[in-house]
């Protein structure tokens, strides 16, 4: 009896070891075949088990979309038609007839809730000239919005709504964004409802596009279409990186080239409009020019990058700091500058009255100066 028991126990041990090895190395050999389910048509179908609320699959941007989309709103604007000023003149009506009242002009865009107090960032061109602005949240609540302030130079505007329990987006650090980073664009394209598209950062510091006075765009290939303006560009954690503003397109739809205003710029505009109703930008009183072989020869410039100063306003902030014609500004407050647009943007970001360090190349010598910027004069309205 003892011998039979030993044989039995040894056999069971060998079988268990073999089962363990097979299930570890070749699990397909012991996997149970999927069950066939017959639908109402009588056709046998193979169905996956009902999904559980588990973690997002590898590579999914689900969590970023969920965190950010609640704070992205749709904006609908309306503008009363312009009435012909002579419409009531009998002679005008005799010659031209009754012109009628015209049609209400409607507009569409997106926005981002950035404060539990109801402040919303969007584009100026979304709300410009609107008589009424209605905001629709992702949870279907609606509210009339009030314009707190607009900044045409950056194409940004701040609205406010009076709802409670508002979802708020987390502001990220757009200065840390690099080309190749994954991003999501969230908005209401063509009025179809909130839509999330994905892509990467294609380029940084895009300027010279003739869109805004101050241009420092994040370029992305995430699909941006009409109606996305004012919406959110977020990173893979759902943090706000920029405000979607414009696209390059020959057809009116997305061609993979979209532009967003960095959140670092949007924060400055938001603070200025909310606190003072106007954006106060820095100004140093210089006439800048991009480096060119002719100018470098004329001024005897040895620098290989930076912005050449061809003129300095007498008694202006730069003149008082010792900046001279022929100097090349290479750095503003720790940020490198390579062209006129970057210089204007970085100087405009300085706080008027607060001293800031500049690096200047003067022939063969690098000079460090401290400039106290003044308040940038208001520019005449562009037509």
SS3 of 144, please? strand
Closest alpha carbon to 355 in 297, 275, 284:
284
What residues form DSSP beta bridges with 107?
77
Is the Cβ–Cβ distance between 71 and 232 less than 8 Å?
yes
Task: Give the active site residues.
Answer: 125, 155, 229
DSSP string of 174-237, one letter each residue? GGG--TT-EEEEEE-GGGS--EEEEEEEEEEEE--SSS-SS--EEEE-S---TT-TT-EEE-TT
Is the Cβ–Cβ distance between 199 and 183 less than 8 Å?
yes
Q: How many CA atoms lie within 13 A of 132 on its CB side?
A: 9
How many helices (H) and strands (E) in the chain? Answer: 8, 23
Q: Which two tokens stand for residue 272?
A: 């200025």
Q: Which two tokens stand for residue 194?
A: 């909130």
SS3 of 359, please? strand
Residues contacting 215, CB < 8 A, separation 6+? 206, 207, 208, 209, 341, 345
Cα–Cα distance list, 327 to 184, 301, 362 (Å): 42, 8, 5
Alpha-carbon distance of 329 to 47, in angstroms, equals 66
Residue corresponding to tokens 């562009």: 382
Alpha-carbon distance of 241 to 258, in angstroms, equals 14
Q: Which two tokens stand for residue 177?
A: 């964004």
Length of the chain: 383
Q: Which two tokens stand for residue 372?
A: 């106290």
Residues contacting 123, CB < 8 A, separation 6+? 109, 155, 156, 157, 229, 230, 243, 245
């Amino acid at each position: 009896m003892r011998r039979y028991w030993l044989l039995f126990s040894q056999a069971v041990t060998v079988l268990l070891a073999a089962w363990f090895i097979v299930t570890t190395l070749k699990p397909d050999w012991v996997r149970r075949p999927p069950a066939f389910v017959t639908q109402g048509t009588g056709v046998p179908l193979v169905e996956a088990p009902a999904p559980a609320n588990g973690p997002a699959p590898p590579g999914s941007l689900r969590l970023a979309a969920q965190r950010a989309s609640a704070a992205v709103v749709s904006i609908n604007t309306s503008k009363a038609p312009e009435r012909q000023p002579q419409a009531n003149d009998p002679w005008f009506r005799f010659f031209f007839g009754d012109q009628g009242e015209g049609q209400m002009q409607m507009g569409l865009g997106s926005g981002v809730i950035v404060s539990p107090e109801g402040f919303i960032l969007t584009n100026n061109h979304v709300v410009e000239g609107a008589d009424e602005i209605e905001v629709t949240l992702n949870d279907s609540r609606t509210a009339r919005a009030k314009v707190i302030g607009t900044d045409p130079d950056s194409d940004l505007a701040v609205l406010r709504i009076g709802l409670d329990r508002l979802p708020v987006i987390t502001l990220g650090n757009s200065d840390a964004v690099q080309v190749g980073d994954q991003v999501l664009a969230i908005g209401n394209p063509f009025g179809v409802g909130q839509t999330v598209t994905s892509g990467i950062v294609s380029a940084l510091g895009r300027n010279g596009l003739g869109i805004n006075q101050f241009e420092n765009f994040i370029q992305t290939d995430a699909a941006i279409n009409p109606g996305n303006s004012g919406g959110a560009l977020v990173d893979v954690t759902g943090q706000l990186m920029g405000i979607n503003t414009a696209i390059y397109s020959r057809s009116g739809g997305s061609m993979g080239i979209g532009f967003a205003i960095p959140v670092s710029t949007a924060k400055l505009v938001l603070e200025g409009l909310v606190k003072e109703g106007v954006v106060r930008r820095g100004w140093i009183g210089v006439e800048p020019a991009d480096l060119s072989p002719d100018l470098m020869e004329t001024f005897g410039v040895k620098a290989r990058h930076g912005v050449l100063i061809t003129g300095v306003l007498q008694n202006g902030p730069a003149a008082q700091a010792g900046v001279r014609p022929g100097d090349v500004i290479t750095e503003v407050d720790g940020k490198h500058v390579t062209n006129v647009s970057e210089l204007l943007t970085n100087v405009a970001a300085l706080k008027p009255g607060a001293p800031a360090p500049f690096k200047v190349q003067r022939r063969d010598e690098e000079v460090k100066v401290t400039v106290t910027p003044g308040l940038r004069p208001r520019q005449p309205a562009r037509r």
